[in-house]
Amino acid sequence: MARNTDHWSRAAAIRMLAMDGVAAANSGHTGMPMGMADVATVLFSKHLKFDASHPDWADRDRFVLSAGHGSMLLYALLYLTGYEDMTLEQVRDFRQLGAITAGHPEYGHAKGVETTTGPLGQGLGSAVGMAIAEESLRARFGSKIVDHRTWTFAGDGCLMEGVSQEVIALAGHLRLGHLTVFWDNNDITIDGKVSIADSTDQVKRFEASGWHVQSCDGHDPDAIDAAIEAAKSDPRPSMIACKTHIALGSSAQDTAKGHGALTDAKLISDTREVYGWEHAPFDIPSQIKCWWEEVGQRGNQARRDWEERVEALGTGKRKLFDRVMRSETPGKLASTLRALKKQISESQPKVATRKSSEMVLEVINPIMPEMLGGSADLTGSNNTLTPDLGVFSAENRKGRYIHYGIREHGMAAAMNGLAVHGGVRPYGGTFMCFADYARGAMRLSALMGAPAIYVMTHDSIGLGEDGPTHQPVEHLAMLRATPNLQVFRPADTVETIEAWELALTATDRPSVLALSRQGLPAMRLEHKSKNLSAQGAYVLREADGKRQAVLMATGSEVSIAVTARDILQAEGIGTRVVSMPCWELFEAQDEAYRRRVLPAGAVRVGIEAASRFGWDRWLLGERGREAKAGFVGMEGFGASAPAEELYAHFGITAEAVAEKVKALL
Ligand SMILES: Cc1ncc(C[n+]2csc(CCOP(=O)(O)OP(=O)(O)O)c2C)c(N)n1
């Protein structure tokens, strides 16, 4: 292509900033930004709807850099177009502690970073979620208020990751026409040519999944522009295969070396020459910077017009729009849940907590139109569908329930996009054992503080006959080990109501609800309007007489603890039962409260049909003692049999707990 055009120098500004940023950090990835700078320049200057002075404009287009290793591409664009927080200082401080220019783009650091990317394929999943959110909100609020697009750059790595197939298939099926994926088709990954590991025909693959597909020269601005125009006018999601050269113009062009950090001084100066770039590092000539800043303001009028249209909405609709976009729960949530709690405390049903969860959703969903539920093909088992929702589909955008298919990872990745898009509150169900399949995306929910709610039923050997392939043992430990993730394991319906309330009101972190398949007796027999689960753990049954033992349990094992207490009390052994529905919240209490709930001196026994891993914090910490502590739970995998037999077989019984206490006294 001609290298003396205006387009060339504007794109070269991105390329040079990427080179200079990576060279300054002495780490990072130069090649991808150099390869995709032309596509980015056309997209940002001609198509992307945004206003750099209002990065949070609700109706902006979302740009997702799924190939997150190319983070300097995004930082360069944000700096050039004039995002206030993306100063030149920040670009210079690429990858340094405290800078908003993290190694990979991190949600919440810099404005304009719409979702965290870096684990390949996740951005694509997030983008699919964003496109679903947009369709859903447009159906509800109308296209004058919601009418934007989602654009994402994905590399060979994103497309090789399994999660990509899950979300590509979902997007094609749902006909997410406002979604466009640009594939950085450069034939290179870290180990060498793509052909050493993959020979997929990506064009056919996307076509087979129901996408509109085009191919273009990713360095020809007119071809890129034409492809984008065609993508916009097709009702299907679009993939544009952009043939590009990684590390364009450098001696590392088209090689695996070009993927990483190009820091060699000679290579950089040679490339400067090839680009005809005579400016010092980080120096962008004002003419080019001004042009880019105008690009950043291009959406200014559209944003003002939109604000006027929002102003003109009827008050009810406007209040609703503002509330859901701020992720605020409705005022009547608390009273609605309190009323249900009161009713349940009186009727004391013996039900599985997955069923309890459904009872909660039946009262929440009608008052929270932003709830967008779903399941990875386990709707009837997860109890995630309530009658009012309707199914979200290509034909019915007003539906609020997503059949994600058997795609746990894709579901979780899309839920991240839904959560960070705003305006919708995603929850999605699967069997807890398959948290493993969703884990890559769940970790990002936690890292981003995205308030996705994972409804994970069949949470122990209590699921019975499906056997050890389906019985989680180590999963609670894994989930609890994940920072910024709230893991709730409620003991009965009242605790399930409280868990849902806490999950919904925590807008800065995801939650997992670990729910039973088997019926559980009511444990909370007296109505308390206060949310007792909010402190993470609390005294459920006090010891009669001198307190000699404290039993700690979660979920389905709380009733075992209560029965063990009856046995022990009958023998004159004063026993307290502590229910611990959420360790993270208990940990967050002050020490005085924790000591009041778990006082020193007594024998402590933890009961959970899962691995002991993590329990020592409560058994031995804060003046617990090894000689006075025990655990009743699982030591290996489960087995296939009816649940009750399994509890007896693995020794998770009230009798075993009572024996353990007596042995420790
Ligand atoms: C899930 C995951 N696995 C591995 C990596 C490490 N990694 C980063 S980039 C990359 C190669 C990606 O190749 P491609 O998408 O073609 O990027 P390009 O070489 O074109 O920049 C790998 C393996 C990662 N970031 N995420």
pLDDT tens digits for range 82-134: 999 999 999 999 999 999 999 999 999 999 999 999 999 999 999 999 999 99
Q: Is the pLDDT of residue 552 over 70?
A: yes
Q: Quote the pTM value.
A: 0.98
pLDDT digits (tens, 9 = 90+) for 142-181: 999 999 999 999 999 999 999 999 999 999 999 999 999 9
- Rounded mean pLDDT of the chain? 98
- pLDDT value, residue 622: 83
- Round to whole Å and give the CA distance between 40 and 35: 10
DSSP letter string over 142-179? -TTT----EEEEE-HHHHHSHHHHHHHHHHHHTT-TTE
Instruction: Give the whole-angstrom CA distance, residue 438 versus residue 163.
Output: 9
Q: What is the mean predicted confidence (pLDDT) over 405-422?
A: 98
d(CA 593, CA 590): 6
Q: Give the integer Cα–Cα distance in Å for 161 and 121.
A: 6
Mutate to test the pocket of ligand 1, among 39, 124, 190 (most ligand atoms within 8 A of CB): 190
Question: Which ligand 1 atom is at minimum distance from the Cα of 155?
Answer: 15
- CB 661 within 8 Å of CB 568: yes
Which residue's CA is the closest to the ligand 1 atom numbered 11? 189
Does residue 385 surpass a pLDDT of 90?
yes
Atom of ligand 1 nearest to the CA of 67: 15
Ligand 1 pocket residue status of 120, Cβ below 6 Å: yes
Would you place residue 2 in the very low, low, confident or very high pLDDT band (cuts 50, 70, 90)? low
Residue 472's closest CA among 619, 613, 579?
Answer: 613
pLDDT digits (tens, 9 = 90+) for 240-258: 999 999 999 999 999 999 9
Tell me the C-alpha distance between 108 and 105, whole Å: 9
**Is residue 259 within 6 Å of ligand 1 at its C-beta?**
yes
Confidence band of 623 (pLDDT split at 50, 70, 90): confident
Query: Is residue 10 scored above 80 in pLDDT?
Result: yes
Burial class (CB in 10 A: 0-12, 13-18, 19+), 385: buried
Q: What CA–CA distance (Å, rounded) separates 372 from 428?
A: 8
Task: Determine whether the shortest distance from the Cβ of 186 to ligand 1 is under 6 A.
Answer: yes
196 pocket-lining for ligand 1 (C-beta < 6 Å): no
Q: How far is the CA of 76 from the centre of ligand 1 (A)?
A: 20
To 5 degrees, how large is the angle CA 588–CA 520–CA 383? 85
Q: Which residues pair with 213 in a beta bridge?
A: 239
